[in-house]
């Protein structure tokens, strides 16, 4: 079920996500594990433990069939961990 938070600056509705995800960080190709929190038509958010993400950073989402580009939009602390949002367009 799509949802948005009241007063949010979100441009698109989000749908709750679930499952592991891998993000390849350029330029060294390091692969970061994460957990999918939500998805939208042009992006997604993950929970992760990587402390070196930089807003605007280009990454690749690793799928079984290949890799797809994404750009980091935001990173924030959530509880004891970190969360990050990415655009895929």
Indicate the number of domains in the chain: 1
Is 21 contained in some domain?
yes
pLDDT tens column, 39-82:
999 999 999 999 999 999 999 999 989 999 999 999 999 888 89
State which residues form the domain around 29.
15-87
**Domain CATH code at residue 69:** 2.40.10.220
Residue 57 lies in a domain: yes
Region label for 65, one of left (φ > 0), alpha (ψ between -120 and 50) or beta (otherwise): alpha
**Are residues 58 and 71 in contact, defined by beta-carbon separation less than 8 angstroms?**
yes
Reported pTM: 0.84
């Amino acid at each position: 079920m799509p949802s948005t938070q009241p007063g949010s600056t979100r441009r698109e509705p989000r749908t709750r996500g679930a499952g592991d995800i891998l993000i390849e960080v350029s330029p060294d190709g390091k692969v970061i594990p994460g957990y999918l929190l939500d998805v939208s038509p042009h992006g997604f958010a993950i929970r992760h433990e990587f402390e070196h993400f930089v807003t605007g950073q280009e990454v690749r989402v690793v799928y079984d069939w290949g890799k797809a580009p994404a750009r980091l939009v935001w990173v924030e602390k959530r509880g004891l961990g970190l969360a990050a949002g990415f655009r895929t367009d």
